[in-house]
Structure 1
Amino acid sequence: MTEPQENQPVKLTITHYRKPEHTHEAFIRWITDEHVPLAIPIFRKHGVIEYTLFVTPPSLNDSMRESLAEYQPSWQVADFDCFIEYQFPSMEAISAFMTDPEWAEVLEDQVDWVDIPKALVSFGHSTSYMLNGKPVNVPR
């Protein structure tokens, strides 16, 4: 599917790098133990359908970097600490969420943890083609 369908949920993704004074482990603990519990009520308020934290530990990335070079030498292993995925019902919901003063309060301490200028944000739609080991949405 190349064009989004009307009323299709919108995915917002963001990559985060930790500030160098924090370890990867401490950074992920901050997100999961401190940030997420504060964020959940705001997620609910704005109808967030899904929030996923994709953690990219340096130990795993480092071990795979060498192996990957054998198969795909032009590929680079991303070095961010995590990739966050939000799924919203609409772009309007994203706008309301991002401008909510309560969300701004939740984000206050991220300046201590997140290397904010390095963040990379994207907006789009996703379609699953494998779920629970079974093909879905395949035309044939």
Structure 2
Amino acid sequence: MAEKHHTHEEFIKWLVEGHLPLAIPIFKKHGIISYSLFITPASLNGALKEKFEKIRPTWDFADFDCSLEYTIPDVETIQKVMADPDWPAALKDHEEWLDASKALLSLGYHVPYLLETGEVVNLPK
């Protein structure tokens, strides 16, 4: 999540226009297959929370600006990115923009069931 002195819009702008142009070449160099942002503005999460807080009072709602998703061939790929001599430049000023101590990481795999084309896949027959 962006630090409180930056707006959501300013944070996303820094991420997309400042960080990613430096990071994407490093990702490609080390074999990251894909990278995407799932942007979660407060306006959408607030509306979602308002609609569901009475129906599902135990549910929690995202309190962060975005989540990042990497598709990688192996865990070592992330280690290679972080060890790349150009990586510190890609992180320039990141401490001004995000609180890395609140990062939440997970490792798993993606299984699609409904494609953008409307096709249903991977369900048992």
Give the TM-score band, short-chain normalised.
Answer: over 0.9
Tell me which residue corresponds to 2:71: 87
Distance 1:71 1:50 in 2: 36
How big is the shift at 1:65? Answer: 0.4
**Cα deviation digits, residues 76-130 of structure 1 (max 9, x gap):** 1111111010111112222211222211221121111011111111111111111
**Cα deviation digits, residues 39-89 of structure 1 (max 9, x gap):** 111011011111101110011111110112233221111111110101111
* Aligned with 2:83 (options 92, 99, 121): 99
Tell me which residue corresponds to 1:25: 9
Q: Percent identity?
A: 48
* Aligned with 2:113 (options 129, 133, 136): 129
Aligned residues: 124
Which amino acid in structure 1 is aligned with residue 29 of structure 2? K
The DSSP-based 3-state class of the residue aligned with 2:86 is: helix
Question: Given the two structures, how large is their TM-score scaled by the length of structure 1?
Answer: 0.83
Residues 55-70 of structure 1: pairs in structure 2 closer than 5 A: 55-70=39-54
Distance 2:70 2:76 in 1: 14
Query: 1 or 2, which has the higher strand percentage?
Result: 1
Question: Given the two structures, how large is their TM-score scaled by the length of structure 2?
Answer: 0.92
Distance 2:105 2:82 in 1: 13
Larger RCO, structure (CA 8 Å, separation 6 or more): 1
Tell me which residue corresponds to 1:13: none
1:139 corresponds to 2:124: yes
The DSSP-based 3-state class of the residue aligned with 1:130 is: coil
Distance 2:5 2:75 in 1: 35
